[in-house]
Amino acid sequence: MSAGGRLLWLWLGWGCHSPDQDPLERDEDVGLSDPSCEERYTGPLVVDRLSGSCDGDDQLKIVLKTRGWASRAVWTVVGTAAQQPWIESHVLESADFDPCGAWDELRLEGIVTGGGTWSPGEQTRFSCDQLLHTPPLLTRVIQLYALDGSLAECLASGHDPAGLLTGGYDALLSVPLGDPEEIERCLIVEPLPGRTPTW
């Protein structure tokens, strides 16, 4: 299956562990403290699905489902269709996970959109119309990090991922896109026909 297919539509029906339950040990070097875990996931940490939506109050919600446990993910969005492209990043944190390490669900919720101001994790300068526009006006990069802090996967999509990843906008950006060594590892993913290509 292509990276794009996995990113946009693959959703596996695993069970879930609520964050309201007793916390579980998530340090891979120590192991799992849940006695019901008979088989531990040992595969790679990858993105399964990344989706975004705006509610009736124009607040943004992003949900990232992974295979394996993650420490965090960084979602960067760049207005590559504009003459002066704006760049901003937000961190997604784990909100739910499988006790045996099979999956993690990271979320970013309640982000106020379109206020002309960027505040990481709280507000985006982009409007919902810009974020959800088809064809895309923005280019997005998602960087997924393992529990040890290392980059597990980097995916880019949207308006001009190739131009963004190869430095075509570097001179116009107010801050760097990211660690050059990590950006070099990014893969470009294409949306499936008929799907909103925002995420």
**Position 9 pLDDT exceeds 80:** no
Residues with Cβ within 8 Å of 6's Cβ and at least 6 positions away in sequence, in order, are: 46, 47, 48, 49
Position 117 confidence tier, pLDDT thresholds 50, 70, 90: confident
pLDDT at 38: 77
- Alpha helix locations (H) across the chain? 3-8, 128-132, 161-165, 180-183
Cα dist from 65 to 113, 137, 148, 184, whole Å: 23, 24, 19, 23
* More confident call, 189 vs 134: 189
CB-based contact 175:87 (threshold 8 Å): yes
The answer as to whether 112 is a domain residue is yes
CB-based contact 47:155 (threshold 8 Å): yes
Residues with Cβ within 8 Å of 57's Cβ and at least 6 positions away in sequence, in order, are: none
* More confident call, 41 vs 192: 41
pLDDT at 4: 39
Q: What percent of the chain has pLDDT over 90?
A: 56
pLDDT at 25: 53
Q: For residues 155 and 140, what is the distance between their CA atoms, to the nearest angstrom?
A: 8
Average model confidence (pLDDT) across the chain = 81
pLDDT at 96: 93
* CATH at residue 41: 2.60.40
Residue 9, phi-psi category: left (phi > 0), alpha (psi -120 to 50), beta (remainder) = alpha
pLDDT tens readout for residues 153-185:
999 999 999 999 999 999 999 999 999 999 999
The answer as to whether 91 is a domain residue is yes
Q: What percent of the chain has pLDDT over 70?
A: 78
The answer as to whether 17 is a domain residue is no
**Position 198 pLDDT exceeds 60:** no
Give which of 55, 73, 54, 76 is closest to 64, Cα–Cα: 73
pLDDT tens readout for residues 65-113:
999 999 999 999 999 999 889 999 999 999 999 988 999 999 999 999 9
How many structural domains is the chain composed of? 1
pLDDT at 190: 74
Six token digits for residue 60: 């943004």
Domain range for 167 is 3-12+28-188
Between 130-134, 152-156, 194-198, the lowest mean confidence (pLDDT) is in: 194-198
**Position 40 pLDDT exceeds 80:** yes
pLDDT at 191: 61
The answer as to whether 152 is a domain residue is yes
**Position 125 pLDDT exceeds 80:** yes
The answer as to whether 21 is a domain residue is no
**CB neighbourhood size of 36 (10 A):** 7
